[in-house]
Amino acid sequence: MAIQYVVKTLFGLEGLLAHEVQALGGKQVKVENRAVSCQGDLALGYRLNLETRTALSVLRPIKSGHAPTESKLYDLVRSVYWDRIFTLDKTFLIDMVCYSDRFRNTHFLALKSKDAIVDQFRDRYGKRPSISKDPDIKINIFIRDDWCTISLDTSGATLFKRGYRYKRGTAPINEVLAAGLLKLSGWKKGVPLVDPMCGSGTFLMEAAMMASKKAAQSFRSDFSFMKLTDYDEQMWRVVKEAARAKECSVETAMLGIDKDQRVLDAAQTNAMRAGYDSIKWRRGDFFKWKPTGPPGMIIFNPPYDERIGLDDAILFYKQIGDHLKQHCNGWKAWIISSHLKAIKQLGLRPIRRIPVFNGPLDCRFVGFDLY
């Protein structure tokens, strides 16, 4: 029997995720709002969690129905045979998402859903499982109007937590977003890549993983699906071995530049511990850097005047554009920023503008050919 999956992602990355899901064997792949749905077997769920670079979580819907009131929601949640899904010794958490004028308090809805599960266990076994903020089992309940879908979050912790970031910079870009932007830019293995305001190096780390075909979650060992009663350890081992068999060397020149030695040290530590000692790191000022060697791609996430302040954002972005025009002939450049007014001051003709979100910030990812 086919299993239904709903794979969540960020706005603007749905098409990329659909290609990933299809490549991993997903059937009946459908692009939705910040998500991709598909069908497959148990092993597909393991591959989606391990290998997708643009996924935030992998949900497995198990029950849907009308829930026009709190009591109907309780009944719907309780109608699931929870002891067939997880055992009493496992902790759980309800992740409640509600888009309905019928309900005013999502916290109360989560409590009713929790009660339905706890009451079922208590009635059958005289005991109840515990709630935890760091649970074994994460249950997603989504309500729109009066329709409710109950899903198992097979990922647990969000999939942008790759496991390679031992040290963080001041304003690191989300790993899923970084991977998605690299794909949207058209960057490929073998094309020299420079991040001249690299912070803790997320773009370069994601690029190195893509170039080496290393699974996105290679550094992570804990997923919620491992706590489910249908967990197949042998199948998981086979999935991991198949992913490892795809790995190869990076063979691409990559350089990260930043003025802050502290974040550079963090970036280098993360890269070395992940096995990517071929990435070069240099303390320096972008405005003093001049590229050498064959042209490639420059990708960066400059300050937006949000978490990192700027004295004069308009002037700062104009200086970025001037430096790119004067010193980076033959290269391509991609910049993400939420400062939509300042980004127009780059003085470059964009080849593409892509709307994306960096957290809550409405951004544009803009590409340029530099001549």
CATH of the domain at 121: 3.30.2130.30
- Lookup result for tokens 């850097």: 289
What pLDDT does residue 99 have?
A: 94
* 54 in any annotated domain: yes
- pLDDT tens digits along 18-56: 999 999 999 999 999 999 999 999 999 999 999 999 999
CATH code where residue 362 lies: 3.40.50.150
- pLDDT tens digits along 62-121: 999 999 999 999 999 999 999 999 999 999 999 999 999 999 899 999 999 999 999 999
* 166 in any annotated domain: no
Helix axes 233-244, 42-51, angle to 10 degrees: 40
Considering the domain architecture, whether residues 77 and 111 belong to the same structural domain is answered as: yes
* 329 in any annotated domain: yes
- pLDDT of residue 166 exceeding 90, the answer is no
Considering the domain architecture, whether residues 183 and 327 belong to the same structural domain is answered as: yes
List the single range of 44-53, 96-105, 192-201, 302-311 with lowest mean pLDDT: 302-311
* 160 in any annotated domain: no
Domain that holds residue 30: 3-153
Considering the domain architecture, whether residues 148 and 181 belong to the same structural domain is answered as: no
Considering the domain architecture, whether residues 149 and 194 belong to the same structural domain is answered as: no
- How far apart CA 53 and CA 150 sit, in angstroms, is 25
> Using alpha carbons only, what angle is made at residue 53 by residues 51 and 57, rounded to the nearest 5 degrees?
85
* 313 in any annotated domain: yes
Considering the domain architecture, whether residues 311 and 187 belong to the same structural domain is answered as: yes
* 95 in any annotated domain: yes
* 110 in any annotated domain: yes
Considering the domain architecture, whether residues 299 and 255 belong to the same structural domain is answered as: yes
Considering the domain architecture, whether residues 92 and 194 belong to the same structural domain is answered as: no
Q: CB neighbours of 357 closer than 8 A, spacing ≥ 6?
A: 10, 11, 12, 363
The answer to whether the pTM exceeds 0.75 is yes
* 162 in any annotated domain: no
Helix (H) or strand (E) holding 354: strand 350-358
Q: Which two tokens stand for residue 153?
A: 């979050």
Considering the domain architecture, whether residues 258 and 355 belong to the same structural domain is answered as: yes
Considering the domain architecture, whether residues 133 and 17 belong to the same structural domain is answered as: yes
Report the number of distinct structural domains present in the chain: 2
Considering the domain architecture, whether residues 149 and 183 belong to the same structural domain is answered as: no
Considering the domain architecture, whether residues 203 and 312 belong to the same structural domain is answered as: yes
Q: Which two tokens stand for residue 219?
A: 């550094």
Considering the domain architecture, whether residues 260 and 315 belong to the same structural domain is answered as: yes
